[in-house]
Amino acid sequence: MSGTFIGMPAFPKAAHDSVRDATLRANLRHATHTIRDKRAVAVSELADWAELREAGKQIKDRTLSRLDHYLVRLEEAVTAAGGTVHWAADAAEANSIVTGLVKATGEREVVKVKSMATQEIGLNEALEAEGIRAYETDLAELIVQLGEDRPSHILVPAIHRNRGEIRDVFGSKMGKWGRPAPEALTDSPAELAEAARLHLREKFLRAKVGISGANFMVAETGTLVVVESEGNGRMCLTLPETLISVVGIEKVVPTWRDLEVFLQTLPRSSTAERMNPYTSMWTGTTDADGPRTFHLVLLDNGRTDTLADEVGRQALRCIRCSACLNVCPVYERAGGHAYGSVYPGPIGAILTPQLRGIRSEVDASLPYASSLCGACYDVCPVAIDIPEVLVHLRERVADQGGPGHRLEKAAVRAAGWVLDHPGALAAGERLASKTRALHPKKLPGPGAGQWTESRDLPEMPVEPFRDWWKKNRS
């Protein structure tokens, strides 16, 4: 997986700063509460939602248990349908493959469908380094790109922006990327959408190369599936002469019957719709319809390592609905940028450290970016037990050591010795009671100090309980 967002500190520091941004918190609160309330209504319409959820979980687990088999089957089907399959072990290899394919066409511009995988590997930056300009066509991704910003949500990348901020971004930046925004543009949603539509239309009509991800890949036929709500994906997938799709290897499902389950659960969990307005499917190439050339880049980039972890592998079930973000009290207050990854929120807190490892300060901090309330597990349409994986990853972070964890282990050993020696414990209790007036209200040090930043230490009693018991037990 590519590196953290440029300049991002570890989660505690990033969250400490973001929770003080009143505008950000208001934007997040309004958006997440609106989405999750609508989702609850959409899900309640299905009497068999629990059964669909369990079916999705079992399909994903069965596929992951034989992932090598289904990927080979997918490759054979895509190749038979006229496509070309490439295998990328990491971000660098994937970027090299894609940039090479684009350069081979002679084009210097590409249009893109919203794709977490291409963000994960930093594809736009890799293309730019080779003199190729990538245009995001999803409305929210366009806002992020024009604003020289970073996505902060899986489904709604510009969730941290309000309408006034979007109007200002369009007015000041749109002209540098193509057709400028209309003069006297207001923050009306209809006007903002129309400005984006006019800006993007010339890109759709001119582009010869399209780049996408995929929500699902059907192994039995080699079919790729993209679901979206705006129609920009349909334009990118059908108008260009060359289509390149970069997809994580975990997105494969064995059969069309398996796909049926996810086409019911994904729309309701993500956009609170009964079905997506646009569901695009393509299988290889067809002479008279769609792109003449199709390339599929299958991306590993840490997924095989994640698959090897019996507890952590359930993160690979994720279908990127973002329901867990919208119910998470930590995400709602800290925002997506605090996670230092294109995968924010609860799913990012368990997926990113597995794809990138836990050696960096940022990645080691992510498993702690949770209250373990369990709301994320309750809404997950494939039943990922995110709290279980968070605790599992915390154990791994603690096992690898570090200044804070070494101090914690030393304190536990010291406490164990004291508790094994009643005389020493009694002497310590009496000393603590006699010096109670000198005790600080907060603990020193970065770790303990954070715990007492918003709470006082309990006051020490006048005498230890064992002394009181001796005087009063008769």
Q: What is the pLDDT of residue 173?
A: 95
Sign of CA dihedral 14, 386, 319, 95: positive
Q: pLDDT category, 433, cuts 50, 70, 90?
A: confident
Q: Tell me how far apart the terminal alpha carbons of the chain are, to the nearest angstrom.
A: 68
Q: Are 329 and 33 in contact (CB under 8 A)?
A: no
pLDDT for res 94: 98
Band the pLDDT of 2: cuts 50, 70, 90: very low
Which segment of 45-59, 393-407, 426-440 scores lowest on mean pLDDT?
393-407
Give the per-residue pLDDT at 402. Answer: 61
| pTM value > 0.75 | yes
Q: What's the CA gap between 210 and 439, in Å, rounded?
A: 65
pLDDT surpasses 60 at 1: no
At residue 88, φ and ψ (nearest 5 deg) are -120, 120
Average pLDDT, the chain: 92
Q: Are strands 216-218 and 223-228 parallel, antiparallel or unpaired?
A: antiparallel
Positive or negative: CA dihedral 30, 34, 40, 43: negative
Residue type (1 letter), 293: T
pLDDT higher than 80, residue 435: yes
> Other CB atoms closer than 10 Å to residue 461's CB: what's the count?
13
